[in-house]
Structure 1
């Protein structure tokens, strides 16, 4: 796995974790921000052929 792929997957995992935390704590604004970040990262992964598990 190259550095780009590893970094992208790490950022996706962090965004998922942050989104989950925001939802659990009821922070709707942060949840929206993290959802947008996650969608952007997933789109980037798809554009570069990086498989992402939909967890």
Structure 2
């Protein structure tokens, strides 16, 4: 795995964690922000042919 892919996967995992925390805390605005970030990261992965695992897809 190259550095780009590893970094992208790390950012996706961190964003998923942040999204879960935002949902648990009931912060609707932060949920929207984190979901948008996650969508962007997944789009970036798809554009570069990075295969996501079931957990990050």
TM-score range, shorter chain: over 0.9
What is the alpha-carbon distance in structure 2 between the residues aligned to residue 42 and residue 21 of structure 1?
19
Unmatched runs of 5 consecutive residues or more in structure 2: none
Larger relative contact order (CA 8 Å, sep ≥ 6): 2
Q: Where does structure 1 lack aligned partners over 5 or more consecutive residues? A: none
Q: Runs of 4 or more off by more than 2 Å in structure 1?
A: none
Alignment match, 1:34: 34
What root-mean-square deviation, in Å, do the aligned CA atoms of Structure 1 and Structure 2 show?
0.8
Name 1:25's counterpart in structure 2. 25
| Number of residue pairs aligned between Structure 1 and Structure 2 | 55
TM-score by structure 2 length? 0.92
